[in-house]
Structures are given as C-alpha cells and as structure tokens.
Structure 1
Amino acid sequence: MTEARGFPAFPVRSRRRLHTWWGSAWMQAMEDTAVDSGVTRRGRRSAADGRIGPIAISPGRAAAVFDGAFRMTIAVEPLSDNAWGSLVAEASVQSGHLAALLDAFLPDALSVLVPGIGELDTQCGCDDWGSPCQHAAALCYQTAWLLDAEPALLLTLRGRSLEELTTAITQHHANPPACLADAEDAPDTALAAFARPVPPLPEPPPPATGELHLLDIEPPPGIDAAALHGAAATAVTRARNLLSPTQPPRVPLSVTPKC
C-alpha cells in the first residue's frame, strides 16, 4: 500500500502561476464544477495567504487544516483495474514515458491519471454549503502547485505508486500479451510469404461467341435512349474484342437499340 506523504505549509504570498498542463487540468476539474466563481477567486487568494497548514497526500485524497480550525479533504477516485492495465500498457510503449515521469513531466499518454470534471470530491468542516467552499478551493490550488512540481503524486492520489508502475512495466515487458508476442514473429512470417513461388495464373475464360445482348433498362428522363444503348453496345463490344486475342478489335457501326 502506498504510504501517505506530508508537505510543509506554503508560506505567505506564495501565489504561483501554473505552467504545466496537468496542474492546470487539476484546477480546471475543480473550477468547472464550482457553483460560484467568486468562491474560487477567494480560494485562490486564501491559497496565497499562508492560512493552510501542512498538506498530507495519501491514497485517494489530499488533506489539510485551514486556520487550525477547518479540516479539508479532496477525495479522488482510485484507478480501476482496467484503467490501471491501460496505463501500464501505455507507459510500456515507450521507455521515455516512465523516464519523463521520473523527471517531473507527465506525458500525454498517461493523462488518465489526471482527474476530470466531477472527479474531485471536496469536503470541509466549515458551514459553507458550496462544493467546493472557499477553503477546499484553496487546498485544490495548493495541491495543484505540488502536482506541478511532482506529477508522480497523481499516482498516489489514484491509489498507486511510482514503484508499482515501475514493477508493472517490467512485468509487462517480461510477459507481453499474446497478441504482442505473436506480432514479434510477423517479420519471419512475411519473409516466408514473399519467398513462396508465384502460383500460375488460372486459364482465361473462353471468348464470348454468342449474340450480343444488352440489358433493357429504362433510360432516365432527358437521356436519348438510342445514344445510351449505342454507347453501351460499343463499350461491351470493345471489351469482348480485347478479351478475345483471336479476333481483331471491331466496333459496330450501328446497333439497333431496344426501346
């Protein structure tokens, strides 16, 4: 189980500008569900006033105390087994994905870690009925600052850890899915296919010797029936002559159409 981690309180006037896409997306998930934009503005100011104590990041939640009185929490839904399997598969595609995460960068391929709109459940001990309230919004902003600097904390908030991801990627490479294992043999199969001799072509069909018959189709309005049947007869005759090497190409001078 991933252990909780504690972070010291941010000092006064610690207003920061997010510069990562995942930190901004975290805040967007909170701001887009706020009933009153004024609450988020007050929360942003409170985040910079040094009134929030140390922050604890543990599996599924972030928690802190506001002014030593109100306890605030942000609950995050853990990754399901299917979502975790997809994350491991995406991270295993390129070794650079894990390296980037270790270097404090979250690749787009691992965006499933970032909560979306409605996936942050805020709670506070104050009397404000809003969700989030001013205090919980302030904690969201400060948590975004932590994520901005260390995106691997998203794994903790999702109930996992960087160590688990590293181990899962190693196991994925050691035991690839059957479809991937079969794909590794594809080059040999392709070479074998190209090495096979080309089979002989089938015998051509016998040349048509019967009388030429055209389908009696009603022409659309405005089309000359005689011209349409004549063009069709010419095309069919040319095709027949081309397929019959024993006969020189002939084009009939006239064909009586069926009207």
Structure 2
Amino acid sequence: MSRRSDPYASGFYPPSVPRSVEGGLRARSARGKIATTWWSTRFLDTLEQIGMGARLARGRNYARRGQVISLDLAAGQVAASVQGSRARPYRVRIGVTAYGKDQWARIQERLATDAWFVAQLLSGTMPPDIEQVFADLDLPLFPGADLTMDCSCPDVAVPCKHLAAVFYLLAERFDEDPFEILAWRGRDREDLLASLDVATSDVEEDRVVPLVELLDDFYVAGPAMRPAPSGAGGATLLDQLPPVPVTVRGHSLVDVLRPAYQALTEPPLGGDGS
C-alpha cells in the first residue's frame, strides 16, 4: 500500500466502531433529551457547567446502543464496564465526596425540621428545596469541583465517550430513584429514612408545648375563608383551598373530590331540595 493510500500515514484515523454488546444497559430514551426529572436534569447541567457539555454528547449514542455492560453505585463512587472497539471492555470510575456521619447528621437535622422533605422523598420525589439545604451547609448535593473521572481507554479527552455514556445512564437511574443521588453522597435510603424518623421525632418532642401555655389562644378562631358566592354549591369550598400538590392517577386531588362535593349539595331525586 502506498503512503498516499494509507490513511494512517497522513495521521488520519478512521472512526472506530464499538463492538456490539448482548444484554447491555441501554438508555430508555431513543432520541432527544435523556433526563426527565428536575434532579437528573440538574445533574447533567452541573456537568455542563464545569466544561463537559460538548464532550458529554459523545456518549449519548453509546448509552443508547447498550455499550455499558455494568454500572454499580456506592458511597462516593460509580464503577462501570463499557464495551468499546477493543476486545476488552474499558473500566470506568467516577468519584464524588461521600459525606461522613457528622456531615450527614447536620443534613438530617435540617431536613427533619420540615416534614415536607420526608414526605416528598417517601413518594419518590426530590423536593427542589433540598438542594438549598445542602448548599446552606456548604455540602453540595450534585457533583462539581469534587468530581473525579477515570477510564482505561486510550482517549485523551475527558470525559471520553465511555465516561459520558455512564453519566447518561446515571441520569436515568436518578430519574427512577432520587435516593441514588443521596446514596452516592454516602447515605442510602434505609439509613436515611431511619435517621430522619428519629430526627423528626426529636424535633416534634422539642416542639411540644404544655396546654396551660396555650389557653389564651386555644379557642381563637383560625383564619376565615372567603365567603362563598350566593347560591354557590359545596364544591366552591374546594376552590378556596390553597394549592394541594397531590395527584390521583394524573388528576389533581381537588378535581377528584369535586364530583363528590357537587353530589352532596344537590337535592335528592324527586325531592324539593328542602
């Protein structure tokens, strides 16, 4: 082969083709955006903010092809195996700071002051305010400067497409279970909920006030509701409720209850409504 016809002689290397994988971990998203929840989107956004945006996109095709063979998450570390163009899969390591007992005690103390955090986590949702709780304690929830990456492939770019593919699959994993983000920071679901239960109980005990100290206000009426329009039915009471972030099979709780309120205010069939 002449030098002119040899692509390697001119420094040009044809693009490598990854070996196909049977039973690999494949991204659920076939096209477009991969992350769907605010917390997994925020996770990818933080990676872009530290200069990984353009390189991160290189791994999207690998994630969708199922090139990631395995992915294991533990406190402070993600270990994965990714099949590239060579026979031996590449070893991928992604690390963040795992917080210790004292740091988690501070986090849990703050979370326990608001039962909303616990309720949202139990429902499989990450409340947006939780990121600020971590930030106020100078303990980032999402990776940033503490992020470390390593891949055994020969690519000098960081992240390489193998690392980037793992990041995308992590985002989908966080979509399914936000506790995985907290586990990466050092506290798994069972330990966190058990600690929050104890911490919440302690907070409630601290808030107990003897009845004798509440007598002056015990019989004071609460805030009045807006007067209902003349002739309005009982369903109008629902419209006076503050926003209720509860849904039943995709419908708001207020819309689910409305037919029942309307039925209670309607006169019985054949009656005069008296």
**Match 1:95 to one of 89, 98, 115:** 115
Matched, 1:156 2:183: yes
Give 1:11 shift: 6.1
Aligned partners of 2:24 and 2:212: how far apart in 1? Answer: 58
Q: Which letter does structure 1 place at the counterpart of 2:45?
A: Q
Taking the TM superposition and a 5 Å limit, the aligned residue runs for 1:123-202 are 123-176=150-203, 181=206, 184-185=208-209
Matched, 1:19 2:36: yes
Between the aligned residues of both structures, percent identity stands at 23
Q: Decide whether the 8 Å contact of 1:12 with 1:50 is kept in 2.
A: no
Q: Look up the match of 2:71.
A: 55
**Match 2:144 to one of 105, 111, 117:** 117
Aligned partners of 1:151 and 1:12: how far apart in 2? Answer: 17
Aligned partners of 2:73 and 2:184: how far apart in 1? Answer: 7
Go from structure 1 to structure 2 and tell me whether the alpha carbon gap of 1:144 and 1:73 turns closer, same or farther (over 3 Å shift): same
Aligned partners of 1:104 and 1:78: how far apart in 2? Answer: 22
Aligned partners of 1:40 and 1:169: how far apart in 2? Answer: 36
Give deviations 1:112-153, integer Å, cap 9, x for gaps. 373143232111111223332221111111111000111111
Q: Decide whether the 8 Å contact of 1:26 with 1:114 is kept in 2.
A: no
Gap runs ≥5 in structure 1: 1-6, 193-259
Taking the TM superposition and a 5 Å limit, the aligned residue runs for 1:238-253 are none
Name which one, 1 or 2, has greater alpha-carbon Rg.
1
Q: CA RMSD in A?
A: 3.1
Q: Decide whether the 8 Å contact of 2:112 with 2:203 is kept in 1.
A: no
Q: Which letter does structure 2 place at the counterpart of 1:20?
A: T
Q: Look up the match of 1:3.
A: none
Q: Which letter does structure 2 place at the counterpart of 1:49?
A: R
Q: Look up the match of 1:201.
A: none
Give the alignment's TM-score, normalised by structure 1: 0.60
Gap runs ≥5 in structure 2: 1-22, 135-139, 217-274
Matched, 1:104 2:120: no
Give 1:60 shift: 1.4
Give deviations 1:188-220, integer Å, cap 9, x for gaps. 55768xxxxxxxxxxxxxxxxxxxxxxxxxxxx
Give deviations 1:91-127, integer Å, cap 9, x for gaps. 3233342232232211123323731432321111112
Q: Look up the match of 1:86.
A: 106
Aligned partners of 2:155 and 2:124: how far apart in 1? Answer: 36
Q: Secondary structure at the match of 1:72?
A: strand
Q: Secondary structure at the match of 1:71?
A: strand
